[in-house]
Amino acid sequence: MKRWIGAASVLIAGLSATAALAQSGDATRGQRVFNTQCRACHTLEKDGPSPAGPNLHGVFGRKAGTAAGYEFSDAMKNSGIVWDDATMADYNRDPKGKVPGTKMVFNGVKNAGQLADLVAYLKEATK
Ligand code: HEC
C-alpha cells in the first residue's frame, strides 16, 4: 500500500510538470501561429506598418488602444485593458467576447496550447 501511494504521487508530480510546460508556451511554435493567423493584419517590429490592424511593437505593458498612429475603435480605447500574458491570451481566444465592438475581425485561437505558444512568441517579438 505504501509503495502504491509513493508511485501515485510520483505520477501526479510528473503530470503537473507537464501541465506547467504546456502553460508556458513555445515561442518557435508561436511564430507559426502568428504567421498563419495574425500576420496579414499586424506587424511586430518597431515603427512597422499597420496594414489592417495596429503595429504591435511594445504592446506588453501598454494600455489597449493607445498605440500612436492608429485609429482604434471606441470599444478598444475604452476597454480598460492593459496588455499582459493573461489579457493577451483572453483577447486572442475570443476577441469579440473580451472586447465587444472591437473592429478586429478574427474568430480567435481556440487551442489552448497554440494560444500559449502565440503569447510566448509575441512577448519576444514585440520587445
Ligand atoms: C483581419 C485582420 C486582423 C487579424 C487576422 C488579427 N487582428 Fe489583431 N487587430 C486588428 C484590428 C483592426 C485591431 C484594432 C481593434 C480595435 O480598435 O477594436 C486589432 C487589435 C489588436 C490588438 C490590440 C492592440 C493595442 O495596441 O491595443 C492586439 C493585441 C491584437 N490585435 C493581436 C492580434 C493577434 C495576436 C492576432 C492573431 C492571433 C490578431 N490580432 C489577428 C486586426 C486583425
Planar angle of CA 107, 80, 83, nearest 5 degrees: 65
Look-up of cell digits 472591437: 102
* The ligand 1 atom nearest the CA atom of 63: 27
Picking from 90, 12, 11, the residue whose alpha carbon sits closest to that of residue 79 is 90
Model confidence over 97-106: pLDDT tens digits? 999 999 999 9
pLDDT in tens, 27-68: 999 999 999 999 999 999 999 999 999 999 999 999 999 999
- In the reported structure, the alpha carbon of residue 79 is separated from the centroid of ligand 1 by a whole-number distance in angstroms of 14
Pick left, alpha or beta for residue 50 (phi over 0 → left; psi -120 to 50 → alpha; otherwise beta). Answer: beta
- Report CA(74)–ligand 1 centroid distance (Å): 14
Query: What pLDDT is stored for residue 24 in this prediction?
Result: 83
**What is the number of the ligand 1 atom nearest to the C-alpha of 59?**
26
Checking if the pLDDT of 5 tops 80, the result is: no
Q: Biggest alpha carbon distance in the chain? A: 67
Q: Which of 1-5, 17-21, 30-34, 115-119 has the lowest mean pLDDT?
A: 17-21
CA of 52 relative to ligand 1 center, distance in Å: 8
C-beta of residue 58 within 8 angstroms of C-beta of residue 126: yes
pLDDT surpasses 50 at 20: no
Q: Which atom of ligand 1 is the closest one to the Cα of 108?
A: 38
What per-residue confidence (pLDDT) applies to 19? 47
Q: Tell me the residue type at 27.
A: A
